Amino acid sequence: MLKTLRDLFESLTPLPAGTDAGAAEHALRLATAVMLVEVMRADSTFHAGEREAVQAALRDKFGLSDDEAARLAELAGTTAAASTDLFSFTSRIDGAFEMPQKLRMIEHMWRVAYADGHLSEHERHVMWRIADLLHIPQGAYVHARMRAQKEAGAA
């Protein structure tokens, strides 16, 4: 419990210069997981498919085991609930990921949004806001959405 709270507070503060690579990687993973969870939290109901899509994205993005992905998703849920903005997370991601990595992440986020079979206006807004903060070009954003929509069979 205390480790989880410490991780939460550390995730909300900027990393000082000279921070070791392990801590920076953990902060980046948590920021990414929080963005995925934010999409899941955007509509009023939590669907099991959305949770699985978040964990699948974390496994794919970071090569995590099922247990590690589940723990990271749980910590991200706690962190997202306590957070007041997206910028602290997106700025960390924007600084660490190249455009192809950001596009892959956006595509994973679209998969989370479509995992329950429909796209709510709140999910659409959260996706747009995150993509804007990550400086994703509109065309790439739309193509990522179309790929995820087709994969989900929602096209």
**What whole-number distance in Å separates Cα of residue 3 and Cα of residue 146?**
39
CB burial of residue 74 (10 Å; 0-12, 13-18, 19+): middle
The pLDDT, as a whole number, for residue 116 is 87
Per the confidence metrics, is the pTM higher than 0.85? no
pLDDT at 62: 93
Tell me the helix, strand and coil percentages in the chain, rounded to 5.
75, 0, 25
Q: How far apart are CA 12 and CA 143, in angstroms?
A: 31
Neighbouring residues of 59: CB distance < 8 A, sequence distance ≥ 6 = 65, 66, 69
The list of the chain residues with pLDDT below 50 reads 1-2, 5, 8-9, 11-13, 15, 17
What pLDDT is recorded for position 5?
46
